[in-house]
Amino acid sequence: MTPRLSRRAVLAGAALLAAPSAVRAQSQARLLVIGGGFGGASAAGFARRRFPWLDVTLVEPKARFVTCPYGNLVIGGTKTLDAITHGYDGLRARGVRVVHDWAAGIDAAARRVRLQGGETLGYDRLILSPGIALRWGALEGYDEAAAEVMPHAWVPGDGAQTLLLRRQLEAMPDGGVVGMAIPANPFRCPPGPYERISMIAGYLKRHKPRSKILAFDAKDAFSKQGLFQDGWNALYPGLIEWVPANRDGRITRVDARDRVLESEFGEKHRVAVANVIPPQSAARIAIDAGLADASGWVPVNPVTFESRAAPGIHVVGDANIPGPMPKSGYIANSTAKQAVASAAASLRGEAPPSALYYNTCYSHVGDDYGISIVGIFRPNAEGTAIVEVPGSGGVSPRGNLPEQRRLEATYADAWYDSITRDMFG
Amino acid sequence: MTSPLATPRIRIPRQVRAGETFEVRTLIEHPMETGLRQDGPRPIPRDLLNRLTVRVNGDIALQAELRNGTSANPFHTFFLRLDRTSDITFTWTDERGRTAQATSRVQVG
């Protein structure tokens, strides 16, 4: 559809003719987005919708994107991989140039990105949403080869890891023990491991009722813990054993050959299926570009999401240090829009818009059984840190509330449909 | 009252070089009840470990006083340096005088 020019727009255009440099800057402003996930796809689509004068290029190696959200339902067998796989035609239709290549390096001073295929892309503003890297070897014995035996299924890629874990569960005899190793904070998707425990438990209850899950955690507490444990007690009594760090739950070594998870104090747990979620950092391109600090994650400006090390590069999604916000798809989407609006404002010589960030993380605990945590966040008055808006959020109420759980499961499905449509539609 | 203290867990190297600084970790499962919590109308009785003592060949190397601010399942990490092969003894004591003990030999060579 060709947009009709309103009288106001024509007048505004006429006014701009008096300032040719501004017109030139706007008409040619190049927004480059690296990474086509929850941060990057959201950024590219939003940029074209809200700032159609931006020339938007998205660099993403994969032709199809498998979401982390709902991956646990694929592992549990209640969703197909196809249902959580998305393409980029919708973004192309919005006018985004989509380049399927690997961004190999960033030259922040020259404002250029080198692609593995040989092309070099210049930009005026860069939105970097590269996601996470798994820190191979940070957990002794866990490298890429080990992940082929003990899948992480935490960075879905083309979905191979998700399906590998699914197949292993299907092949496991009834009575087998599923072991999980869960990392310390911070990591992608704080409630994710516990939703995964729930979905695997659902599968075992239906098909392998003599099996159980041994979940070893490097933490003593986790997101929505009370709600998850209420659900586990109600739906899967005796099926799940969660071992916190203060009961020797921290896994410090794994042996892929024998599928052994070894604890901090030397207990060796041999399991039939092992899902190892290893320690993580920002993706390599962010670290190679010198954007990450000693923590392995990228410090950012709480208003614009520009890197503290390289202004002009807005880092969104799980690679950054989000203050009190979780590393979630919703936060990636919400902050990507603020980053794009800030980039656009900067290109027009304007101040960044005031910021408000939204998060809801739904988790499925069983069939028709959903729970959630909500938070609203904003920069503090000084603009130096992100804080949660007091009284803004919370978690689902506890207690025997089947209708609430049923509704939240449907809200979760609706959330997934909405956000993936916002990203790819 | 009747249950014994849990078996402690110790992570300590079997062998070190003389003068090398090495890490020791200990964990003992214990509820560390303060006596201030309620289970419905009923107060949960106070039940606290009050001391961890670490001896190297019988000499006290570390003594920690544990109180009602210490979390359940107390976890301690500290560093030692030895100049000869030693027996390290870890002793937890509760307020009623019950103890749990573990000994590890560390070879220096």
Q: Please state, in angstroms and rounded to a whole number, the distance separating the CA atoms of residues B70 and A39.
A: 41
Contact A316, A336 (CB under 8 A): yes
Residue recorded with tokens 């020339």: A55
Q: Do A248 and B9 touch (CB under 8 A)?
A: yes
How confident is the model over A219-276, as pLDDT tens digits?
Answer: 999 999 999 999 999 999 999 999 999 999 999 999 999 999 999 999 999 999 999 9
Q: What is the pTM of this model?
A: 0.91
Structural domain boundaries enclosing B41? 9-108
A162 and A110 in a common domain = no
How confident is the model over A24-78, as pLDDT tens digits?
Answer: 445 689 999 999 999 999 999 999 999 999 999 999 999 999 999 999 999 999 9
For residue A196, what pLDDT band results from cuts at 50, 70 and 90?
very high
Q: Domain of A192: which CATH number?
A: 3.50.50.60
pLDDT value for A27: 60
* A419 within a domain of the structure (yes/no): no
**Cα distance from A266 to chain B (closest Cα, Å)?**
8
Beta pairing class for B21-27 and B38-39: unpaired
pLDDT value for B109: 87
**Cα distance from A251 to chain B (closest Cα, Å)?**
13
Q: Do B25 and A265 touch (CB under 8 A)?
A: yes
Report whether pLDDT(A379) > 50: yes
Q: Do B9 and A245 touch (CB under 8 A)?
A: no
Q: Domain of B23: which CATH number?
A: 2.60.40.10
* C-alpha A322, offset from chain centre: 12
Report percent pLDDT > 90 for chain A. 93
* B104 within a domain of the structure (yes/no): yes
pLDDT value for B2: 52
* A395 within a domain of the structure (yes/no): no
pLDDT value for A385: 97
**3-state SS, residue A163:** helix
Residues 6+ away with beta carbon under 8 Å from A9: none
- What's the maximum distance between 2 C-alpha atoms anywhere in chain A? 77
For residue B1, what pLDDT band results from cuts at 50, 70 and 90?
very low
Helix (H) / strand (E) element for A165: namely helix A160-171
* B2 within a domain of the structure (yes/no): no
Q: Do A246 and B27 touch (CB under 8 A)?
A: yes
A234 and A333 in a common domain = no
Residues of B in contact with A220 (CB under 8 A): 71
How confident is the model over A162-189, as pLDDT tens digits?
Answer: 999 999 999 999 999 999 999 999 999 9
**Cα distance from A247 to chain B (closest Cα, Å)?**
7
Contact B28, B5 (CB under 8 A): yes
* A397 within a domain of the structure (yes/no): no
Structural domain boundaries enclosing A47? 20-61+101-131+283-352
* A374 within a domain of the structure (yes/no): no
* B73 within a domain of the structure (yes/no): yes
Report whether pLDDT(A20) > 70: no
Q: Do B75 and A265 touch (CB under 8 A)?
A: no
* B14 within a domain of the structure (yes/no): yes
ipTM: 0.87
The residue out of A300, A322, A352 marking a domain boundary is: A352
The residue out of A352, A368, A403 marking a domain boundary is: A352
Q: Do B71 and A246 touch (CB under 8 A)?
A: yes
Chain B nearest-CA residue for A252:
B11
The domain tally of chain A equals 2
